[in-house]
Structure 1
């Protein structure tokens, strides 16, 4: 009985571990954009790519336009080439773009504005890291004799430049916000610039004393619930088997042997 319990426990543990190892098969993905800017002139081209860790099958570039039309690349817009989607932009393509898997997982999102006017602001579409140098350019569709440009952040004038561009040598969280530019001809649309924290290098600090590894939970809530629902029966079976084994072993050790008929007769003789 004890061996059977141990074998069942081992089998249950192996099955549950296999579920835990295979329960997070969906790779994470990020959307990259080339060139990395959020504003474009009409008929300019942009390449959007899903960078996936692991199997990229089933991932596609999706957009939600300003009109609320949700569609994927290679339908009525864009040309799919491998994991990339190449788009020749028109104003109706303005909207939010991201990568999406067949199971509904999403990557980061990028906001693209296609301007039919004469001036756009060239600013990063992807988040920039604190400490990086960032250059914003006010671009005119044509040739300007006067490059004097005013740059605005959150509606307030922050810089007047004679070169048509401004550089932030080391961006910080305070530089995050909504930017636009104006020149003698027109003003650009507004675009949001996101600033993220610094990613520290492992060599920036002394090597700490090794400590026991602590598992880190890195799955989404739906996948976590799914794993729990699938794995719970195995844990329940394991617990029940352990309890039964322990009870059977305890009862076997504490049970008093019943006396046979001959033993009872012997006891009577001794009493007489």
Structure 2
């Protein structure tokens, strides 16, 4: 084997060994946009021991995870993100090798505002269901209430008029036309019928 081939082989071997030790920073959740008070986990993947997570922010430069988060080996967790945690994050080895850089921006949580309902918008489905139920109850109970009111009114009218009596008198008729005996004439003339209503 000639010396140039040997040099190439050594060079390729060292290049491959360096590339296999290269770390890659991953962020969970996998978004560069984070809101205040959210938790973020940073991890140096495919790395051997000795890799740590570092950052540059507006308040610190090249600081390790122990200064601003909770470190566990080659990973780092920030429990409550703050807008001041916005910046660049990367993995760095003890020899000074670095991984990819990820920029994280921390912003305030958006406030949710609801537009007031317009006059043309329909009420929610649950309200329609309630309106339908009320109408059904009215259709059932209104005739009952009306008939009860009418019956009470009729009863009260009859109760007020109960002391009045209606009487009927019969006029004596011609005995010859009716063919009645004289014995019954006195009875017929004295008959008066009374009815109570």
Q: Structure with the greater relative contact order (CA < 8 A, sep ≥ 6): 1 or 2? A: 1
Please say which structure displays the higher CA radius of gyration: 2
**TM-score where L is the length of structure 2:** 0.48
Choose between structure 1 and 2: higher helix proportion: 2
